[in-house]
Amino acid sequence: MQGINVKSEIGNLKKVILHRPGDELLNLTPNTLEELLFDDIPFLPVAQEEHDAFANILRGEGVEVVYLEDLMAEVIDANPELRETFLDQWIFEAGIRTETYKQIIKDYMNSNYAGTKDMVMKTMAGINLQELPQKDTHLLVDMVSDRCKLVCAPMPNLYFTRDPFANIGNGVSINRMYSVTRNRETIYGDYIFKYHPDFAGTPRYYDRNDTFHIEGGDILNINEHVLAIGISQRTEPDAIDHIAHNVFNDETSTIDTILAFNIPSSRAFMHLDTVFTQIDRDKFTIHPGIMGPLTVFEITPDGKGGTKIRERNEDLEKVLSEYVGEAVKLIPCGGGDRIAAEREQWNDGSNTLCVRPGTVVVYQRNNVTNDVLYREGINCLEMPSAELSRGRGGPRCMSMPAWREAL
């Protein structure tokens, strides 16, 4: 399974990219939560147990699980000259500009993390000042800085592998993230899709250095011809225009329609996949709170290298049914109960990972929504989620499919 093949949200999942939470969660503090986009601090040992349970559920369903950190380490082991290039880039993107500190940090990384995977994991975990050797730098900042100050910030959101890059058909979008904190996460995808033998040569529909923000949680593959993208708090319409141009002008792409969903810009509706995911050939979960304000725009090629856009004013079921090819049913999070919907939406009740049509991984804690799905004939693979859910992302957020079989 070399390359990327993701032409639906529900085709039999064969290969997926995960990141097991690591020491980056230990560098979360109450004072840095807002900056690092967390609402609470997960307890790392339990978060890792829950994530391992998630991976084991997938393996039990015949899915090959590969880890982002392993792929990155394999790239550098196969190309040792990239280690210094990668470290220089990581240090720069961590905001280190003085030559003194660039060298101090590089020396620290090479001396203490000679093993490639250890080094990769440390770049994800971050560095605080007290870890570095105390040297008389003759800098005022070192005289007044708290020794617990973060020098290189951690990447605690990285276990949500859905967002830094998104696989589209046989191509990939290396995303420009909404926040400075998360934009550094895309460096790993950039190296993996340039150099890893399993992924090198994949068509690139967006680049991390492009101008506008877009995140993978807003990108859903409906089928080989239709792509859905959310206009959200974290994805700008200009980025969708850019992807549409690149996808439509790639001769290897089969996508001829992009549906742009204009969803409310708020933390609760962070990405399209937090309010809307496909779970079977004819079924979607949806948060009832977006039914009123949701507007859909249909983007297609104009035959001249550009695009044409049409606003769809029909109800969502009709629009989806047209593109799915059969009548669809929207199943509301919380079973339509407003309080249950708001509570379980906060814990990603609509954020499911489809393993095959009608079989989805869900958070165990969303019992009201899960009971509704069971009654609709959906096979729910429930995973523990007491700690992982504190990051405000569900099973789909925590996974990036690399290969799905055709429907």
Q: Which residues are annotated as catalytic?
A: 397
Q: What angle is formed at CA 67 by the lines to CA 66 and CA 73, rounded to 5 degrees? A: 115
Closest CA to 407 of 236, 274, 254, 297: 254
Q: What span, in angstroms and rounded, lies between the C-alpha atoms of 67 and 115?
A: 17
Q: What span, in angstroms and rounded, lies between the C-alpha atoms of 56 and 62?
A: 10
Q: What is the 3 state secondary structure string of the chain?
A: CCCCEECCCCCCEEEEEECCCCHHHHHCCCCCCCCCCCCCCCCHHHHHHHHHHHHHHHHHCCCEEEEHHHHHHHHHHHCCCHHHHHHHHHHHHCCCCCHHHHHHHHHHHHHHCCCHHHHHHHHHHCEEHHHCCCCCCCCHHHHHCCCCCEEECCCHHHHCCCCCEEEEECEEEECCCCCHHHHCCHHHHHHHHHHCCCCCCCCEEECCCCCCCCCHHHEEECCCCEEEEEECCCCCHHHHHHHHHHHHCCCCCCCCEEEEEECCCCCCCCCHHHCEEEEECCEEEECHHHCCCCEEEEEEECCCCCEEEEEECCCHHHHHHHHHCCCCEEEEHHHHCHHHHHHHHHCCCCCCEEEECCEEEEECCCHHHHHHHHHCCCEEEEECCCCHHHHCCCCCCCCEEEEECCC
Q: What span, in angstroms and rounded, lies between the C-alpha atoms of 139 and 87?
A: 23
Instruction: Confirm if 330 and 314 have CB atoms less than 8 A apart.
Output: no
Q: What span, in angstroms and rounded, lies between the C-alpha atoms of 133 and 136?
A: 10
User: What tokens were used for 403?
Assistant: 């290969």
